[in-house]
Amino acid sequence: MPDNPVRNDTDIEIANAALAMIGSPAIQSFEDETALARKVNAVFVDLVESCIEAHGWSFAITTVELQRLATTPLNGYAYAFAMPPARIGQNLVIRETLRSRVPLRDYKVAGGNVFADTTRLWATYRTRPEVALWSPTFRRFVTTALAAELCVPVSHDSDLAEKLESKAWGAASENRRGGLFQKAMAADLSGSPGFEPLYDADPLTDARQSSATNWFGD
């Protein structure tokens, strides 16, 4: 089997809960040499990460200081930094200080590095947290979305797949913004204690406040 990203033990619970929803037996491990395990492996990581990318979930946002590289850039900037690890999606907010209210504007991303003229940088971005950190509503949403994804390849039931897809993401007219996704998003937004100064000055934060989205521009 091809290599897969390292998974937490609780990931198997998500996979087996999704399989149970479509009347399938459980798998013991993602590394099982069975047709069923291979089908789960084929979609699990991409499905979970696409669900995370669909919204700026509070439990899936992290901030780290970027590692400055020893090499001197040849593109006009003074310093190069390694991109943050395990980043999901393209959204990246760069700041010159950890608690800066204003995102850094003068920087460049290229070749897996961030280039800037400041000696230290912090990046805020989406990442994939352990399942134990997921909210209950997000867990139900992901489980149902995974069941919908697995339904046809595992149980060959296109009608059930359509029903589960609608339950997870809402009707087609809702443009994948309804169903359990909408409930999980609403719960996440209502559970946030407020807008941190870290995000207040970012223009995408204004979009969140005005349209019940978040600073990643959902």
pLDDT in tens, 153-172: 999 999 999 999 999 999 99
Q: What is the 3-state secondary structure (H, E, C) of 46-65?
A: HHHHHHHHCCCCHHHEEEEE
What the block records as the tokens of 147 is: 């069941």
Alpha helices in the chain (DSSP H): 11-21, 35-53, 136-150, 158-169, 179-191, 197-200, 203-211
| 83-96 pLDDT tens trace | 988 899 888 999 99
* For residue 217, pLDDT beyond 70: no
At residue 91, the pLDDT reads: 87
Would you state the pLDDT for residue 114?
96
Instruction: Inform me whether the pLDDT recorded for 8 exceeds 50.
Output: yes
Backbone angles phi, psi at 104, to 5 degrees: -70, 135
Beta bridge partners, 116, equal 79
Single out the residue of 105, 122, 110, 119 nearest to residue 202, CA to CA.
105
Q: Which residue has the tokens 């089997």?
A: 1
Q: What is the pLDDT of residue 99?
A: 87
136, 185 in Cβ contact below 8 A?
Answer: no
pLDDT at residue 199 tops 60: no
Q: 35-77: per-residue pLDDT in tens? A: 999 999 999 999 999 999 999 999 999 999 999 999 999 999 9
Q: What integer pLDDT is reported at residue 192 of this predicted model?
A: 61
pLDDT tens by residue, 119-141: 999 999 999 999 999 999 999 99
Percent of the chain with pLDDT over 70: 83
Q: What is the pLDDT of residues 22-41, one digit of tens each?
A: 999 999 999 999 999 999 99
pTM (2 decimals)? Answer: 0.81
Residue 64: φ, ψ to 5°: -135, 155
